[in-house]
Amino acid sequence: MRLAIGAPHGRSGKTTITLGLIVALKRMGLKVQPFKKGPDFIDPAWLSLAAGRSCRSLDLYFLDKEQLVEQYVTGSQGADISIIEGAMGLFDGLDLEGSDSTAAVARAVKAPIILVIDTTRMTRSAAAIVKGFQHFEPETEIAGVILNKVARPRHEDMLRNSIEYYTGIPVVGAVPKQKTPLIAERHLGLVTVQEWSKANELLENISIQMEQHVNLKAILEIAQTAQLLPEYNIERNQTVTSTRIGVIRDQVFSFYYPENLEALEQAGADLVYINSLEDGQLPDIQGLYIGGGFPEIFGHELEQNETLRTSIRNEVEKGLPVYAECGGLMYLSRRLHYGGESFQMCGVLPCDTTMEAYPKGHGYTRMLTTNPNYLFKTGTVIRGHEFHHSQICNFNPQEIMCIFKMNRGHGIDSNADGIIVRNVIASYNHLYAPSHPEWAINFVAKANKSIKK
């Protein structure tokens, strides 16, 4: 069974509705596998907590259709139902054809779509919206509608009757206005799940609203109509090298695709998790991976943990291979400037970083590998994504060498990304490992060589 949750536009309530459905279906005894369309880390963390299974990504910018279907099938193993949360509007994509839209992803995996409509200050017009979506791409199956932010029973009746009369698509839920708890937001989207002390209580409250206002039986009946997909051999032979790769993963640095961590393990890595706020020094590792996150929010705490920062700097000087993305780049810089304050960081990169009021880079990236490095051959085209309000500052351009030329996106300065210092590669770009399998293989191989030195 599978479903995709879409909407006419962002901020319609897709994430809240999806979270509530997942928990409600879990309470019915079902194993639910969550997926997220598009590049994202924050929503997937919430979806993972709700499902008790790691949320996986489906993106046609990173993968072709066959690769995406394979990722879906292998990721759904052991689940009773899979739910794909869309991104932005249902048909929104990078090109005129919407080749990477939520609708395109849903068609690729043959998932019927539940359309979430924000009904604020709207009655009969909702039917026109649904009818337009129904016929815009006829091969896209919109199988049901959930009304969100419904004002009162009379409002619901008008909405429900209009949509079902003019489109024939059933309304399978109507969530009252101000009934669904909201998750706070900050500059990159929702506040991360790691920062909510009562996240499970919040999810429980959302699920109760779904149980009261959504026809879960109808939802399951729609999910059961999904067509069969090809079968794939999911056996993966893991390389055995016992290479210990440290991963800084905590409430500060939480932006990791589970696919990336799995790729490292498949390449022979033994992942060792590190807490940037609590651990006093690096453990015995041969490589270090630092993902994105919100180091600016925890500037004081990161600065106070001087022993770990010193340990990282010392190991880098000895040749430790390090791969860092976005927040990880900021942590490796000399200082982080935010909100009128300045915090000392690791001092590995010959620059500072500063937070700006507006995004410096936001969206998909396309980069050409132009300088020698241990991860990618020169000439390799890298597809990824970025979303950062920070930029590097207080640096000598002669001391900054990068391995990527930006063909799409901002990177560190609209021209380049991927700062390389000794065996450190730090980038604003976020990489999705299934689209570049050589990344994990080459990183573990480099770390493995460091064992023998």
Q: Are 51 and 22 in contact (CB under 8 A)?
A: yes
First to last CA, the chain: 51
Fill in the DSSP letter of residue 142.
Answer: E
With H, G, I as helix, E, B as strand and everything else as coil, classify residue 129: helix
How far is CA 226 from its chain centroid? Answer: 25
Helix (H, G, I), strand (E, B) or coil at 437: coil
Residue numbers annotated as active site: 326
Give the list of residues 6+ apart from residue 452 with CB closer than 8 angstroms, or none: none
Burial of 233 (0-12, 13-18, 19+ CB in 10 A): exposed
Cβ(348)–Cβ(316) below 8 Å? yes
Tokens of 207: 């699920």
3-state secondary structure of 315: helix
Residue 98 and residue 91 in contact, taking contact as beta carbons nearer than 8 Å: yes
333: nearest Cα among 37, 342, 341, 97: 342
